[in-house]
Amino acid sequence: MNSGQTILAGLGTELGWIRDTYRDLHRHPELSLEEHRTSQLVAEKLTTFGFEVTHLGGTGVVGVLANGEGSTVLARADMDALPVTEETDLPYASEVAGVMHACGHDVHVSTLLGAAKLMADGRDAWSGTYIALFQPAEEVGAGARAMVDDGLVTNVPRPDVAFAQHVMPIEAGTVAVSAGPVLSAGDSLKITVYGKGAHGSMPHMAVDPVVLAASIVLRLQTVVSRDIRPGDFAVVTVGALNAGTKSNIIADRATLLLNIRTYDAHVRSTVLAAIERIVRGECITAESPREPEFEYYDQFPLTSNHSAVTDQVTAAFAAHFGSDAIVAATRQTASEDFSRIPDAFGVPYTFWLLGGVDPETYGDAVERGSVSRDIPANHSPYFAPVLDPTLEVGVRAHVVAALTYLAVTS
C-alpha cells in the first residue's frame, strides 16, 4: 500500500459523520461574516483531531497539523451561505428562513474536515505540515481578505502550495481541473453622475442626469466591442440604473451599478480605464456641474491555476480516480476570493471543480465538465448536490492533492 491508500483506507468508516456534518451544516446555513455556529463546529472538530487551532478574521478558523520534516500544504474551504430561500424538498433542507447553502460551501467544509481527520489519523504515513483553513464571507469577497488583514501570514506557517475546490453542476464522481485562468476577476462599481435639478416642464433650466445616464449606458456597450482586442474576454453589465422620483421633476443625480468580469490583469485595467473615460466624457458633454464619483466594491481577484502544480495534481488525480473521472475545467465567469490566500504568502495554487450532480437524477442533461441549463446551478434555490459520491470524492481529492507535496513515510 502506498501512503495515499493507507490514509484513505479509513475513509469508509468516516463517511457517516462526514455526511451527518454536511446535513447539519445544510440545515443551519449562516450568512457571510455571521458563520459563528459553523466556525465553532469546525474549531471543535479540528481540536479533537489534534490540530492546533487559530481564529482569524472574525469567524475564520485555521487548523495546523505539524507532523515533522517536509513541505507545508494549505487547503481552504469557505463556510458562508446565501440569502436564498431554499425550494428543495430535501429532508435536510435549510431550517433558517431566507438563508440557504445554495453555493455548496457546506460540501467544502464537510469534505475538508473529512480530509483533516484522515490526515491526522494517518500521520504515520506522511511527514510535513498540513493546514486546513476555513474562511468566512466568500460570497461578498471579504472573507479571505479579512483573514489576511488579521495576520494570516504571520500567524500561520508559510505553505509551499495551496488548494481549494468548488462543487459545481457537473457529473458527480468527476473532478474538473485546468491550468491557467479558471475563474474570472470580478469588480462591482457604483458610479454617481450629477445633473442639475429642475421642474420637468423646464428642461432648459436643468442638466438632466437621466439622459446623461442613458447615454453612458449605451456608450459603455462599446467597451467590450471597441476597446478590447477581439478574442479577449470581458463582460461589462449595468445591473442597476437609478434616478429620479416623479414624472415632473428632473433629478440632480443618477447612480449606475456595474459588474465587470475579466481573465487578464491588462484587459481588466483597460476595461476600468475605458469605463471611467466614457463616464467623464459624457459628463463633459452634458455639462454636468460636478465630477462623477467611482466607488469600487465586492471585488474578486482572478483565479489562475499554476501550471506545474496543476499538472502534478491532475496526474495524481488521474492515477487515483482513473483518467475517465478527470475532465478539463471550462473557464467560469464566476469569481472567488480564494487566490488572495496563496497570493498573500506568494505561493502557487490550484483550484479544482468537484462534480455534484447525480447522473441518475438528471440523465442526459449531465455533461461532463460543462454546465447544462437544465440543472439547478449554484445560487439556485433548487441547488442540491448529491451526497454520494460527491462527499467521498471531495475528501479523496483533498488528501490526494496534499500527498502530492507531502513526504511519504510508508
Q: Which of 73, 77, 57 is nearest to 65 (CA)?
A: 73
Q: What CA–CA distance (Å, rounded) separates 295 from 219?
A: 20
Choice between 164 and 278, CB closer to Zn ion? 164
**Nearest distance from C-beta of residue 124 to Zn ion, angstroms:** 35
Choice between 103 and 326, CB closer to Zn ion? 103
Choice between 103 and 228, CB closer to Zn ion? 103
* Helix axes of 11-27 and 36-49: crossing angle, nearest 10 degrees: 160
Q: How far is CA 210 from each of CA 252, 393, 410, rounded to the nearest angstrom?
A: 9, 53, 70
Q: How far is CA 67 from each of CA 73, 299, 408, rounded to the nearest angstrom?
A: 12, 36, 11
Neighbour-count burial of 399, counting CB atoms closer than 10 A to its CB (0-12 exposed, 13-18 middle, 19+ buried) = buried
Q: Which of 403, 372, 392 is nearest to 174 (CA)?
A: 392
The type of residue at 22 is: Y
Q: Which of 196, 131, 125 is nearest to 408 (CA)?
A: 125
**Nearest distance from C-beta of residue 29 to Zn ion, angstroms:** 12
Provide the grid cell at 258.
Answer: 456595474
* Contact present, 406 and 186 (Cβ < 8 Å): no
Q: Return residues touching Zn ion (CB under 5 A).
A: 103
Provide the grid cell at 48.
Answer: 479533537
**Nearest distance from C-beta of residue 322 to Zn ion, angstroms:** 27
**Nearest distance from C-beta of residue 305 to Zn ion, angstroms:** 17
Q: List residues bridging with 189 in a β-sheet.
A: 258, 296
Q: Where are the beta strands (DSSP E) in 12-147?
A: 52-56, 60-67, 72-78, 126-135
Q: State residue 128 phi and psi, 5-degree precision.
A: 135, -155
**Nearest distance from C-beta of residue 334 to Zn ion, angstroms:** 7
Choice between 103 and 234, CB closer to Zn ion? 103
Which single residue brings its beta carbon nearest to Zn ion? 103
Q: State residue 92 phi and psi, 5-degree precision.
A: -110, 30
Choice between 168 and 278, CB closer to Zn ion? 168
Choice between 14 and 78, CB closer to Zn ion? 78
**Nearest distance from C-beta of residue 56 to Zn ion, angstroms:** 20
**Nearest distance from C-beta of residue 339 to Zn ion, angstroms:** 14
Choice between 99 and 103, CB closer to Zn ion? 103
**Nearest distance from C-beta of residue 136 to Zn ion, angstroms:** 13
**Nearest distance from C-beta of residue 104 to Zn ion, angstroms:** 6
Pairing of strands 126-135, 72-78: parallel
Pairing of strands 303-305, 180-183: antiparallel
**Nearest distance from C-beta of residue 378 to Zn ion, angstroms:** 5
Q: List residues bridging with 168 in a β-sheet.
A: 355
Choice between 138 and 252, CB closer to Zn ion? 138
Choice between 64 and 103, CB closer to Zn ion? 103
Choice between 103 and 144, CB closer to Zn ion? 103
